[in-house]
């Protein structure tokens, strides 16, 4: 998992509508990257649904929250619609997992991202958390604690 104090690896990924989103788009804001394995899986559905419930509170603290997985933009689009998500979902699709790997949020044996959270401020990682297993959802309290520091 990427360590606090590390310069955040740059990225440019398509979102759920195919628009390119880059790290630089969040300059001057706190950014929480929420890495997760796959759209439509039961645990991922619960995870993103939970983050949607508290998204307004996260944004009230001057932060943006963005989901990242290896699914395509088309899959992300359908997943957002089904769950009524408003946060952007980025497709770390091609090359598969490149950004997830750069942030240390990757499980080689499973060939997908791990459930991980990364807080970026001023282009630097200020906090990170990796779930011990893909079956464990990193709770929203972790995000709020990190934002409060």
Has 44 been annotated as catalytic?
Answer: yes
Q: Between the CA of residue 34 and those of 52, 75, what are the distances in Å?
A: 12, 17
Give residue-wise pLDDT tens across range 93-118.
999 999 999 999 999 999 999 999 99
The yes or no reply on domain 12-148 and CATH 3.30.450.30 is: no
- Average pLDDT in the 63-68 region? 98
Q: Quick one: pLDDT at residue 105?
A: 97
- Average pLDDT in the 14-35 region? 97
Contact in structure between 64 and 32 (CB atoms under 8 Å):
yes
Q: Quick one: pLDDT at residue 35?
A: 98
Give residue-wise pLDDT tens across range 72-96.
999 999 999 999 999 999 999 999 9
Confidence of residue 119 (pLDDT cuts 50, 70, 90): very high
| pTM for the model | 0.97
So where are the chain's domains? Answer: 12-148
E strand or H helix at 133, and its extent? none
Q: Quick one: pLDDT at residue 9?
A: 98
- Average pLDDT in the 22-47 region? 97
Confidence of residue 1 (pLDDT cuts 50, 70, 90): very high
Spatial distance between the Cα atoms of 63 and 122, rounded to a whole number of angstroms: 12
Spatial distance between the Cα atoms of 99 and 46, rounded to a whole number of angstroms: 23
Question: Which listed residue (13, 21, 23, 44) is catalytic?
Answer: 44
Q: Quick one: pLDDT at residue 108?
A: 94
């Amino acid at each position: 998992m990427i360590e606090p104090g590390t310069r955040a690896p740059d990225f440019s990924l398509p979102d759920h509508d195919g628009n390119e989103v880059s790290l630089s788009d969040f300059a001057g804001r706190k950014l929480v990257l929420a890495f997760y394995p796959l759209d439509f899986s039961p645990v991922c559905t619960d995870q993103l649904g939970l983050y949607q419930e508290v998204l307004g509170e996260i944004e009230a603290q001057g932060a943006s929250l963005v989901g990242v997985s290896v699914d395509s933009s088309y899959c992300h689009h359908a997943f957002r619609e089904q769950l009524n998500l408003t946060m952007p979902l980025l497709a770390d699709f091609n090359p598969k997992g490149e950004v997830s790997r750069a942030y240390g949020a990757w499980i080689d044996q499973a060939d997908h991202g791990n459930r991980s959270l990364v807080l970026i401020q001023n282009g630097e990682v200020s906090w990170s958390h990796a779930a011990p297993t893909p079956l464990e959802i990193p709770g929203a309290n972790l995000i709020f604690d990190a934002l409060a520091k």
